[in-house]
Amino acid sequence: MEKNRIQVLPDEIVNRIAAGEVVERPASVVKELLENSIDAGAQNLSIRLYEAGLSRIAVEDDGCGMSRADAVLALKRHATSKIASHEDLDAIATLGFRGEALPSIASVSRVTVVTRERTAQSGTKLRVEAGVVTGCSDAGAPAGTLVEVEDIFFNTPARRKFMKSAPTELRNIIETVSNLALIHPKISFSVESEGRPLMILPPGQSLSERAEELSGVRPGGLYFAKARHGQRKLTFGFAAPHESRGHRRGIRLFVNRRAVNDRILFKALTEGYRGLLEQGRWPVALLWLDLPSDEVDVNVHPAKREVRFRDEGGLFRWVAGSVAGALSSAPWVRSGASAVEVPDSVEESPFCYEKSAPGSGRAAEALEDYARRALKPGGARSPFYSGGGYGRGGAGRAEPGKLDFSVNSIAEGAEEKSPGETCAMNSPFGELRYLGAFDATFLLFESGDRKLVIVDQHAAHERILYERISAARTGGKGQPLLVPLVVECSAAEIAGFAEREELLEAIGIRAELFGGQSLSLVEVPAGVTGAEGVGMLRDVIGGESFDSGESGGGGRADKLLARAACAGAVKAKMALDRTEVASLMRDLGETKNPSHCPHGRPLVIKMGRAQLYSLFHRK
């Protein structure tokens, strides 16, 4: 009889295939085990790591525990206590429900489970290797469950080769724990690595206390808003726009008490920030959504990172409008403000509300008003530029997006002198006459050969800082700060610092651990102010990990230099006075390549008389 070509796969292979979807790295193991513990009613969670989880992971909880029969069943695929019928899939209220996590983990590692129910006299100890139960016995144990996972991917060496470095894997675990801690602020979390505590979050915290502790912003620098539309509820935690980062890790999204990666929500949140952030900068923002179960499907991805919404368009408009409305109040400008209520939005319009707080008006107008106020003395300005560099500015400030065509606007705040006496500046493009700034971002000049010269102030400062830092790299020595600066960080940023400390020192940035979740910045690259150094440090330790193709020290260091220069450079929408513009152009003239920023973008555009005339159809 001819053998069938199509066969049913044995359980061992099926479990390994499932493990490839659920267990990607040590952080995946920690996530699945913690979710099981939370579903079991645990109030205190302990995570112990060795070699960033590559050697051993131990997760212990004080939840309800399991009987021996349940413990054995928990190691079988699709065995779960969380759903019993297809109707339950339409109203999932637990973090886990597939019954795949524990058997998937056990199929690619060596697992020990010790568990006891609260009413039982003794517990159960199970040993599993590559998905096969090798031991089952009674054990003395406290109420709850302890799961130890050792030698992850020991039987799939090809998978293990794709693991990142230990610091990177450790950072991913910290991010995972942080997400769960932000959903469950009442639960205690502790993380240890090689016996050293990395994160200790006490029980019984409020959402705002937990979020402030994990966001990495300065104390009191996180604000909260709440909105409601029908059965939809939204909580929005945010820092001031000038606390932005050069990476997206400051954005966290949660739907129905589950951390998600969703492009619709991400775009809606960033849409709410339109006009407040320059390109390439990302806010510190946390968004919790509580939606009716029939409006969201969480049964999309095995790792439960993705969701689908029934009404994507309506949700987008509501979230974007609520975020914009919260930001329009600009609570960071008003001392002592920490919370704001966002009125119910009208679903048909992203920026229109049924009722408004006094004086707020439409959100878009309020955002523009904040942008104007932020450029005035005493308004919300970035602390990175209050102590050095460009952007400290004089009294006059141009409104974003507007040009003042009055005679006195050409020399802001200057005495009335002829243009040749007050506006001539040296530059790498010859002597230029400064005309003013457009949108507090682009500097306008007239050259001696009657051409219009437009300079991107951020890109120009990026080029200056990049070449200064590059020149100071010899020996990795920076300039010591007279008074070290203390930088408050999140646990993930501390892990990022451990991952990139050597690279930081290679570009002249030296920092030290300063107790708890703080760093002390002691050296910065030559020519960089301490405040600019803080911005560089934050963006480097908080940014995404480098690609494996950039493992060479030179490639990683060059990318790090460009990232650091971008973080320290003067930002768009930050008006410069004429003295600062003159200094910027003089410093740009000392660079080797004054035409492009370190990322390869042009920083200057020249337009001749003929080109301008053709735009107006003039001969």
The region that residue 441 occupies, defined by phi over 0 for left and psi between -120 and 50 for alpha, beta otherwise, is: alpha
Give the tens place of pLDDT for each residue, 555-583. 556 776 777 788 778 888 888 988 999 99
**Alpha-helical regions (H) of 396-511:** 419-422, 457-471, 491-506
Give the tens place of pLDDT for each residue, 74-83. 887 655 554 4
Distance (Å, whole) CA 574 – CA 374: 9
Tell me which of 171 and 377 has the higher pLDDT: 171
- Which range has the worst mean pLDDT, 149-153, 182-186, 529-533? 529-533
In three-state secondary structure terms, 276 is: coil
Could you tell me the pLDDT band of residue 19, with boundaries at 50, 70 and 90?
A: low
Q: Is residue 359's pLDDT more than 90?
A: no
**Tell me, what's the pLDDT at 243?**
83
**Tell me, what's the pLDDT at 367?**
45
In three-state secondary structure terms, 453 is: strand
Polymer length of the chain: 619
**Tell me, what's the pLDDT at 99?**
53
**Pick from 287, 259, 285: nearest CA to 27:** 259
Q: Per the structure block, which two tokens stand in for 568?
A: 């320290």
**Tell me, what's the pLDDT at 368?**
46
**Pick from 103, 111, 102, 116: nearest CA to 67:** 116
**Tell me, what's the pLDDT at 341?**
54
Tell me which of 360 and 519 has the higher pLDDT: 519
- Which range has the worst mean pLDDT, 215-224, 346-355, 488-497? 346-355
**Tell me, what's the pLDDT at 127?**
93
Note the pTM of the prediction, 2 decimals. 0.67
In three-state secondary structure terms, 606 is: strand
Q: What percent of the chain is modeled with pLDDT above 70?
A: 74
Could you tell me the pLDDT band of residue 70, with boundaries at 50, 70 and 90?
A: confident
In three-state secondary structure terms, 49 is: strand
Residue type, 487: V
Q: Is residue 11's pLDDT more than 70?
A: no
Q: Per the structure block, which two tokens stand in for 172?
A: 């991913």
Mean of the pLDDT values across residues 132-138? Answer: 90
Could you tell me the pLDDT band of residue 338, with boundaries at 50, 70 and 90?
A: low
Give the tens place of pLDDT for each residue, 511-561. 998 877 889 999 888 767 888 788 888 888 887 655 444 444 455 567 767
- Which range has the worst mean pLDDT, 269-278, 412-421, 503-512, 602-611? 412-421
Tell me which of 106 and 337 has the higher pLDDT: 106
For β-strands 44-50 and 132-139, DSSP reports them as unpaired
Tell me which of 279 and 251 has the higher pLDDT: 251
Q: Phi then psi for 463, rounded to 5 degrees?
A: -60, -40
Distance (Å, whole) CA 45 – CA 201: 10
Give 448's DSSP letter.
T
Q: What is the mean pLDDT of the chain?
A: 77
Contacts of 481 (CB under 8 A, 6+ apart): 521, 522, 523, 524, 530, 533
**Tell me, what's the pLDDT at 509?**
87
**Tell me, what's the pLDDT at 294?**
84
Tell me which of 53 and 344 has the higher pLDDT: 53
Q: What percent of the chain is modeled with pLDDT above 90?
A: 30
For β-strands 296-297 and 223-229, DSSP reports them as unpaired
**Tell me, what's the pLDDT at 395?**
34
Tell me if 34 sits within 8 A of 8, measured CB to CB.
no
Q: Is residue 337's pLDDT more than 80?
A: no
Mean of the pLDDT values across residues 452-464? Answer: 92
Q: Is residue 603's pLDDT more than 80?
A: yes
**Tell me, what's the pLDDT at 266?**
93
Could you tell me the pLDDT band of residue 274, with boundaries at 50, 70 and 90?
A: confident
Give the tens place of pLDDT for each residue, 368-423. 444 444 444 333 333 333 334 555 444 333 343 333 333 333 333 333 444 444 46
Distance (Å, whole) CA 593 – CA 588: 9
**Alpha-helical regions (H) of 202-333:** 207-215, 263-272, 312-328
Q: Is residue 345's pLDDT more than 70?
A: no
Q: Give me the domains of the chain, ranges plus CATH numbers.
A: 11-204 (3.30.565.10), 208-374 (3.30.230.10), 382-619 (3.30.1540.20)
Give the tens place of pLDDT for each residue, 90-121. 545 555 445 577 888 888 899 999 999 999 98
**Tell me, what's the pLDDT at 349?**
33
Burial bucket for residue 75 (CB in 10 Å: 0-12, 13-18, 19+): buried
Mean of the pLDDT values across residues 420-438? Answer: 79
Mean of the pLDDT values across residues 31-48? Answer: 93
Residue where the block lists tokens 């499907």: 297
Q: Is residue 335's pLDDT more than 60?
A: no
Distance (Å, whole) CA 492 – CA 474: 30
**Tell me, what's the pLDDT at 112?**
94
**Tell me, what's the pLDDT at 181?**
95
